[in-house]
Amino acid sequence: MIQETRSGNERLAELRRRQQENTRLNGAEYDRRQLILASSPQHVFFQLNAVCNADCIFCSKGYDYPIFELDPYLEKFGKEVIPLLSRAEKIHLTGSGEFLGLPDSKKILRFFNTEFPHVEKLFATNASYLGPQICELIANGGSRYSLQISLHASNPELNRTMMRYDAFDKVMRQLRHLIELRDKNGGNPRIRLMFVLTTFNIEDLPNFVRLAAELKADEVAAGYFYIYESQQKYLSLYFKPDLANRYIDEARKVADELGVVMRLPPKFGQSPHEYQRADCCSEPWTQVMLNVEGNVLPCDVFGDFPETLAEKPFREIWNGPAYRTIRANLRESKGCILTCPRHNPSSVNDWDSHVIHRSKGDAAIVREYNEAMKRP
Amino acid sequence: MWPLRSGVSRLSRWPPAKVALVQCPVWWTTDPPLGLAQLAGSLKHFGHETEVFDLSIELYRERGEKYKNAWAWEQFAFWQDAAWMADCFRDHAAFWDRAVTRILESDSPVIGFAVFLGSLRTTLEVARRLKAAAPDRVIVLGGEYFFLGGKAEELIRHPSVDAIVTGAADFAFPELVKKLQDSGRLEPCPGAVVKRDGEILSGGERPPQDSLDELPFADYEPFPLALYEDANRIPMTASRGCVRRCAFCSTREFWKGYSYMSGERIYAEVAHHAKRHPGRRHVEFYDITANGSVPSLERFAELVIEKGPTIAWKINAIIRPEMTREVLDKLAASGCTSIIYGLESGSEHVLKLMRKEYGPAVAERVLKDTHEAGIKTTANFMFGFPGETDADFRETLEFLRRNHRWLDRVYPSRTYTALEEHAYLFEHPEEFGIKVDPAKPTNLYWETLDGTNDFLVRMKRCDEFCALAAELGIDVQKGLDAELALDRQLSLAQYHEFKSNDLEAARAYLAYAELDLQNPASLSRLKDYEIKLAGKHPDDVASRDALALVRATLWQAERESRTGAVTDRSAEFSGAR
């Protein structure tokens, strides 16, 4: 730990120096595909599960996850986790539900601001809890944030349909306030507006870009909806490719005209470059996922991984036999990469690109596929 | 025991003339040590009783987790490392104490050790303990290690050594024992040097054995046969030396030419073993050149076909025109299932440089006929023989492409081209354009004066050869008990160590540790490099990174060693053994 007697600037400089050294080393160790690493991961996904006040039509739901509480967590795992987070380049505050709706949310933000002012924090929010105090903590807490705002519509009616709650006007007010703070604060936080593309809202995408331009959001990101259950197939643009292509083109045109930075998925009929299978995956070298119960995971789609901070120090897990086996396999393009849903992307034109099969057996997948193929 | 008039021993009883024969680690684990079995046979033939202690196989079976891979070929060098050896004795203290007690309790006044470079340190330590416990026991060393190069003159001065057999021990050792029995004191005899009252007495050279037909049969009965990994195998040798004079090989120097058994003599011993060990139906001939006399080999095959027993057998052989399809069919019919040829190169030019007496055309014909006779066909290859150009090496690759159908397996040399002591190449480096640095002698890391051929060039050629062989569907094997990836990594580490490239050596040892994290020898090297790298300038980023990784690796190894989460190499490398 850095001595408390040091001034704030010296402390920050020292934290940054250690962080940069770790990031450099971590990148180099990945480049060399080492099995044992002296560095710690530069990306840490930190699960903060909460209850959600919205009920988005495209959500996979996940209310059975344990809710995050800061103090008990720090008591159990703080000794291991704080140094790890301090060396990270980015902390992804992830998990199920609306993190800012947690009773502890302000305390959590203060904790991250104080302990890790040098680390960029990223999280997704529907912005309904972005009150003045929270906005202050994000924009003026002496820390760096990137927020992904779930909106999915440019108007209150469609937003209500998509997210099944009534908070659009409030969200807009709070967002405008945060953006004002951002502009006064040299661009912190960075704000990205999110739009999940479905048959319900695709026609609204150009207007969503206009809204982003008007709000002066930093970026717009759109992505296709994933089908989790066969009943959700009516939402998938897989069955309406021409419609999707038309509005993607139009949104691109509007974004170019208005100077909005926009991330769009590939159009139907177009073979995305991601269609190529990757030779390796950097995640077991450069990132880690930590959940509320202390479990450690190489990534969000990895299967059973028998390692937990409840039993051994992070360093031992990070270079232990389980991680070494994953890395050894990956550097020969074997192991989990052969079946990874992210690294084996089907073309946008394939059904598999639009479905999440996680936790389903082969029979269920076939049944759902046959069901879904009955075109709506 | 026999009374001695003076000297090292004061033995108090007369016959039985019992001799303890000891094999210290490291020796291999597949089958019993052949040299010791031959000696046991000779001693028995001359009326002596023997008791065998194969401490190598016994320790292998009892070894601690840390030493799991220590019998693999690439670990050989570690058995010569003093610190590593001290750990090995400490970690297996009860085993060694028990071994020494058992040898002493055998009540053998003479204790003979079979010595190789890999077993030298363990032998001397066990001898020291025996002498400390019982100064009157006579310690005799023998083995090819002492045949040349003044090793016997050097080691006879060791306080725990009383005599050394300097050549073939079949008759010299029994004679030494007999003289001791008769006179009650150590007497030199031809082929042996002894130390008596501090004085070193040599019996001079023993004339080489022209024919091996007079040799007694090897005796496997005193061996713990159940401990060896191959329960079907009996090792044997039917010849010594070689008929060829390959520039890189020293076999002829050790055995002064070539001597061999007649077909009838080979058959008699094989039939004897088949009868004594009916469960073992595979005869592994360890001769360097089993086909030095093709008529003898052919006669042996005829006798097996005519009289039985039904056995399988395997030989190492040279490529020669006399290996005709007719001969090969006969060998196959008698049970020859596998032949390993010392082919070494597919380039006419390189074969000439090596002083091989055949060209690629003969080799192609012999390989094809062997394979078509139904015999598993294996060829050894070397890389970067001095004078081998890149174009020559490409010819070897082409040879492989042309003949891959006839090659079931290849053994790429793990030392690529070593300067074997006493070989012509070793004795005449200037003739081959090899740079000589008397301050830094090396058998492995030599380079040519023109700078075109060094260890890394040879390693690269070997890598390319292995990749092509694998692509062509040929089984690429280690030839000895070794894991190719580990072996390669260790070679690289030792090369950089030799060249004093601290950073590269540390990196290579780190890569080795990735494959076998608990290996005590590589961890010991990493501890040395931790100190060396810590002494580098702080702005040297590469050294700093390597140091951080050395520390992370040592920490992890120590942690896993404590918690028992040891990596099982055999699981990671399926089919490694």
- B21 falls within a domain: yes
- The CA distance from A15 to B348, in Å, is 65
Which regions of B286-391 does DSSP assign to beta strands (E)? Answer: 312-317, 336-344, 376-381
With an 8 Å Cβ cutoff, are A37 and B559 in contact? no
With an 8 Å Cβ cutoff, are A35 and B514 in contact? yes
- B59 falls within a domain: yes
- B406 falls within a domain: yes
CATH number of the domain bearing residue B44: 3.40.50.280
Highest-confidence range of B51-55, B277-281, B491-495, by mean pLDDT?
B51-55
Give the gap in angstroms from C-alpha A316 to the nearest C-alpha of chain B.
Answer: 6
Give the gap in angstroms from C-alpha A342 to the nearest C-alpha of chain B.
Answer: 26
pLDDT value, residue A365: 65
pLDDT value, residue A363: 73
Instruction: With cut-offs at 50, 70 and 90, classify the pLDDT of residue B8.
Output: very low
- The CA distance from B441 to B450, in Å, is 18
Query: What is the three-state SS of A309-359?
Result: CCCCCHHHHHCCHHHHHHHHHHCCCCHHHHCCCCCCCCCCCCHHHHECCCC
For B513, phi and psi rounded to 5 degrees?
-65, -30
Tell whether B75 and B191 lie within a shared domain.
yes
- Measure the CA angle with vertex B464, ends B416 and B486; round to 5°: 60
DSSP tag of B79: G
Average pLDDT over chain A, rounded to whole? 90
Tell whether B256 and B334 lie within a shared domain.
yes
Read off the pLDDT of residues A219-235 as tens digits, 9 standing for 90 and up.
999 999 988 877 788 89
What are the chain B neighbours of A25 within 8 Å (beta carbons)? Answer: 545, 548
pLDDT value, residue A1: 45
Read off the pLDDT of residues B303-356 as tens digits, 9 standing for 90 and up.
999 999 999 999 999 999 999 999 999 999 999 999 999 999 999 999 999 999
For B239, phi and psi rounded to 5 degrees?
-155, 165
Is the pLDDT score of B2 beyond 60? no
* pLDDT, average across residues A27-45: 97
Is the pLDDT score of B9 beyond 50? no
- The H or E element that residue B265 is part of is helix B263-276
Read off the pLDDT of residues B110-155 as tens digits, 9 standing for 90 and up.
999 999 989 999 999 999 999 999 999 999 999 988 888 789 999 9
Number of domains in chain B: 3
- The H or E element that residue A295 is part of is none
- B75-78 long-range contacts, CB within 8 A, separation 24+: B75/B26, B75/B490, B75/B519, B75/B521, B76/B26, B76/B117, B76/B118, B77/B490, B77/B494, B77/B521, B78/B520, B78/B521
What are the chain B neighbours of A319 within 8 Å (beta carbons)? Answer: 552-553, 556
CATH number of the domain bearing residue B362: 3.20.20.70
Tell whether B373 and B451 lie within a shared domain.
yes
Is the pLDDT score of A319 beyond 60? yes
The residue of B556, B560, B562 whose CB has the most chain A CBs within 10 angstroms, and thus the best one to mutate to test that interface, is B556
With an 8 Å Cβ cutoff, are B556 and A320 in contact? yes
Lowest mean pLDDT among A310-314, B38-42, B438-442: B438-442
Nearest chain B residue to A326 by CA distance is: B572
Tell whether B391 and B503 lie within a shared domain.
no
pLDDT value, residue B503: 96
Closest in A28, A36, A321 to B545, CB measured: A28
* pLDDT, average across residues A125-150: 95
A vs B: CB pairs below 8 A: 46
- The CA distance from B142 to B35, in Å, is 10
Closest in A312, A319, A328 to B552, CB measured: A319
Is the pLDDT score of A91 beyond 90? yes
Greater model confidence, B338 or B65: B338
**CB-based contact, B436 to chain A, within 8 Å:** no
Is the pLDDT score of B80 beyond 80? yes
pLDDT value, residue B5: 34
* pLDDT, average across residues B407-435: 94
H helices of B413-568, in order, are 424-427, 455-471, 484-498, 502-515, 520-534, 541-563
pLDDT value, residue A212: 98
- B420 falls within a domain: yes
The residue of A20, A24, A26, A35 whose CB has the most chain B CBs within 10 angstroms, and thus the best one to mutate to test that interface, is A35
Is the pLDDT score of A374 beyond 90? no
CA distances from B309 to A12, A283, B334, B381 (A): 84, 61, 9, 34
Give the gap in angstroms from C-alpha A211 to the nearest C-alpha of chain B.
Answer: 48
With an 8 Å Cβ cutoff, are A38 and B565 in contact? no
Is the pLDDT score of B550 beyond 90? yes
What are the chain A neighbours of B565 within 8 Å (beta carbons)? Answer: 320-321
Q: Report which residue type is found at B360.
A: P
pLDDT value, residue B524: 87
For B342, phi and psi rounded to 5 degrees?
-85, 75
pTM, rounded to two decimals: 0.78
Nearest chain B residue to A316 by CA distance is: B556
Average pLDDT over chain B, rounded to whole? 91
Instruction: With cut-offs at 50, 70 and 90, classify the pLDDT of residue A62.
Output: low
Closest in B545, B548, B559 to A316, CB measured: B559
**CB-based contact, B549 to chain A, within 8 Å:** yes
Highest-confidence range of A192-196, B178-182, B536-540, by mean pLDDT?
A192-196
Is the pLDDT score of B212 beyond 60? yes
Greater model confidence, B436 or A282: A282
pLDDT value, residue A25: 97
Tell whether B38 and B109 lie within a shared domain.
yes
pLDDT value, residue A304: 79
pLDDT value, residue B76: 77
**CB-based contact, B504 to chain A, within 8 Å:** no
What are the chain A neighbours of B563 within 8 Å (beta carbons)? Answer: 312
Q: Report which residue type is found at A201.
A: N
Tell whether B110 and B152 lie within a shared domain.
yes
- B508 falls within a domain: yes
- Which of B420, B447, B464 lies at the terminal end of a domain, its last residue? B464
- The CA distance from B131 to B129, in Å, is 5
Tell whether B247 and B155 lie within a shared domain.
no
- B422 falls within a domain: yes
- The H or E element that residue B212 is part of is none
Tell whether ipTM is more than 0.85: no
What are the chain B neighbours of A20 within 8 Å (beta carbons)? Answer: none
pLDDT value, residue A2: 47
- B227 falls within a domain: no
What are the chain A neighbours of B556 within 8 Å (beta carbons)? Answer: 36, 315-316, 319-320
Instruction: With cut-offs at 50, 70 and 90, classify the pLDDT of residue A5.
Output: low
What are the chain B neighbours of A328 within 8 Å (beta carbons)? Answer: 514, 572
Give the gap in angstroms from C-alpha B565 to the nearest C-alpha of chain A.
Answer: 8
What number of CA atoms fall less than 13 Å from residue A36's CA on the CB side? 28
Closest in B552, B560, B572 to A37, CB measured: B552
Tell whether B260 and B370 lie within a shared domain.
yes
With an 8 Å Cβ cutoff, are B559 and A324 in contact? no
Domain of B181, in residue numbers: 11-202
User: Residue A3 burial by CB count (10 A; 0-12/13-18/19+): exposed, middle or buried?
Assistant: exposed
Instruction: With cut-offs at 50, 70 and 90, classify the pLDDT of residue B569.
Output: very low
Six-digit token string for B263: 């077909």
- B518 falls within a domain: yes
With an 8 Å Cβ cutoff, are A328 and B514 in contact? yes
pLDDT value, residue B12: 34
* pLDDT, average across residues B215-228: 96
With an 8 Å Cβ cutoff, are B513 and A36 in contact? yes
* pLDDT, average across residues A157-185: 95
With an 8 Å Cβ cutoff, are B545 and A37 in contact? no
A150: three-class secondary structure by DSSP: strand
Greater model confidence, A18 or B562: A18
B241: three-class secondary structure by DSSP: strand
- Which of B419, B449, B464 lies at the terminal end of a domain, its last residue? B464
- Which of B464, B479, B509 lies at the terminal end of a domain, its last residue? B464
What percentage of chain B carries pLDDT values higher than 90? 78
* pLDDT, average across residues A273-292: 89
The residue of A24, A25, A34, A324 whose CB has the most chain B CBs within 10 angstroms, and thus the best one to mutate to test that interface, is A34
Closest in A36, A315, A316 to B514, CB measured: A36
With an 8 Å Cβ cutoff, are B549 and A34 in contact? yes
Give the gap in angstroms from C-alpha A93 to the nearest C-alpha of chain B.
Answer: 28
What are the chain B neighbours of A35 within 8 Å (beta carbons)? Answer: 514
Tell whether B268 and B416 lie within a shared domain.
yes
Six-digit token string for B377: 């066909």
Give the gap in angstroms from C-alpha B69 to the nearest C-alpha of chain A.
Answer: 17
- The CA distance from A233 to A169, in Å, is 30
Tell whether B248 and B308 lie within a shared domain.
yes
DSSP string, A88-132: -SEEEEE-SS-GGGSTTHHHHHHHHHHH-TTSEEEEEE-STT--H
Instruction: With cut-offs at 50, 70 and 90, classify the pLDDT of residue B478.
Output: low
With an 8 Å Cβ cutoff, are B556 and A29 in contact? no
With an 8 Å Cβ cutoff, are B553 and A315 in contact? no
What number of CA atoms fall less than 13 Å from residue A102's CA on the CB side? 23
Query: Is the distance from CB of A192 to CB of A221 less than 8 angstroms?
Result: yes
Tell whether B244 and B342 lie within a shared domain.
yes
Tell whether B151 and B265 lie within a shared domain.
no
With an 8 Å Cβ cutoff, are A37 and B549 in contact? yes
* Contacting B residues, span 527-546, partner chain A, CB-CB under 8 Å: 545
pLDDT value, residue A372: 65
